[in-house]
Amino acid sequence: MLRDGEQAPGASMTATQKMDIARQLVKLGVDVIEADFPASSEIEFELVKCIAHEIGFPENICYDHHVALAPLLQFHLNNCGDPFTENPVDFHSKDFEVAVLDWFAKLWEIEKDEYWGYVTHGGTEGNLHGIWIGRELLPNGILYASKDSHYSVFKAARLYKIDLEMINTTTNGEMDYSDLRAKLLHNKDKPAIININIGTTFKGAIDDIDVILQTLEDCGYSHNKFYIHCDAALSGLIVPFIKNVISFKKPIGSVTISGHKFLGCPIPCGVQITRKSHIAYLSRNVEYIASMDATISGSRNGLTPILLWYSLSSKNQIGIQQDVKRCLYNARYLKDRLQQANISVMLNELSTIVVLERPLDHEFTRHWQLSCVRDIAHVIVMPSITRETLDDFFIDLVQKRKMWYQDGSVKPPCVADDIGAQNCACALHNGIGPELLSGLSFSNRQPSLKRYSDDTTLYLTLPRTMLNLAISIGPSLNLVDPLA
């Protein structure tokens, strides 16, 4: 494969085009040489080969448009301290950061003068910050988190030395509300800090905020006796376009997402939003940086807010909604194909995470970069994953299973305990359908998408002076003001 410019004078390819070609060449057994890099750069070659089969982790690698921002790499941009206060130095991107925060505040239904937030280094920092707020508001509170919560939630409990009550989950990964009720009643003399999953890490299950709020009320917890943090790392940009799940009109305290997941960003990052009234418990004046600070990390990457802003202003809500629709339908497509092939599989409502039986061969899981737990694995359908890639995975899996299980000495695992008997295709449970297990299937409902008009009030806004400054940084930026 020739390098860029060798195909034809001045020719070049986007990252997406390179991935498409890489997938085809890998299927043919041809070694992939990455365009744009010298022949000695083997690491880059391997990266292109890997991303052609990355379907097991939540990363959207469709961000060709970020190439326009490459000139910014020559600048040290540090958003140290509170994003709503000025920096003592001029090289920062806090105007971009606030514009991104305003966008998410609108999405999650909280007014500009009522929220506070910042762009984090990822979902873990958002969870650490949200639970930190809960601990500061309720110093003797107990942290309640389901067993399927992200490991960073349990890390927070250890870091902050908070008593932890781990809540059982159902087979689809959702919190067991009867177990939550029992443990709330057992600890009724202490406040509750509750982590709610808006899409669990492995199964994509969504905890029901309304049921949890009702459970708190039934157990005698007034609003000043509980704090709710929502971990929406992946699904925080999916569910708002289908169902009104995340809203600060409800008594929740904070929400966090990962910016590099569904939206896509070449640098790990996230967004944390909380109520402004809570920040007084955290914020301290730091004379050295001439700023108030309630963040965890101190120095913060000033490039990621610009990358996030650029993605949001390029796509807008209608573009993101289209990504949501396509990913949900493609996840359903893969689930149906696996089910028709008699392979154990589960797909939660409002989720793009397809959970299936664990492939027998380690090389297969490495090739497709699958995440595995016990006897199950998952495929996470992201905007960068095409239906063709899902077909390639399906065909490869079916062919490999014929080899693994051909002589009958080894059989596919029973995963009824992990995904439910109605979704298990092992010898014991094969043939048991949803009609025999009424009410147990979590994957048969088609979501309906909200409609968003192409209204500029939904777009990101940014002070024109800052926009002009950004454009002047590099002639190849080609930034477009969404309000122009």
Name the DSSP class of 206. Answer: B
Structure tokens at 111: 């007014």
Nearest by Cα to 449 from 327, 314, 312, 311: 327
Rounded to 10°, the helix 387-404/15-27 angle is 30
Nearest by Cα to 318 from 176, 409, 181, 454: 454
Structure tokens at 60: 């959207």
Angle 286-287-288 (CA atoms, 0-180°, nearest 5)?
A: 95
What three-state secondary structure class fits 154? Answer: helix
Active-site hit among 351, 384, 453, 472 = 351
AA letter at 138 = L
Angle 188-194-200 (CA atoms, 0-180°, nearest 5)?
A: 140
For 60, residues 6+ apart whose C-beta sits below 8 A from its C-beta are 260, 261, 262, 263, 264, 382, 383, 384
Rounded to 10°, the helix 151-160/123-137 angle is 40
| Cβ count within 10 A of residue 409 | 6
CB 206 within 8 Å of CB 173: no
Helix or strand holding residue 339 (H, E) = helix 303-340
**Could you tell me what percentage of the chain is helix, strand and coil, using 3-state DSSP and rounding each to the nearest 5?**
40, 15, 45
What gap in Å lies between CA 152 and CA 200, rounded to an integer?
A: 12
Nearest by Cα to 483 from 454, 458, 467, 461: 461
CB 150 within 8 Å of CB 127: yes
Structure tokens at 281: 């418990």
Nearest by Cα to 293 from 282, 309, 277, 306: 282
Instruction: Work out whether the CA dihedral 397, 399, 405, 411 comes out positive or negative.
Output: positive
409 is catalytic: no
What gap in Å lies between CA 270 and CA 378, rounded to an integer?
A: 23
CB-neighbour burial class of residue 370 (10 A; exposed 0-12, middle 13-18, buried 19+): buried
The 3 state secondary structure assigned to 447-482 is CCCCCCCCCHHHCCCCCHHHHHHHHHHCCCCCCCCC
**Catalytic residue positions, numbered:** 351
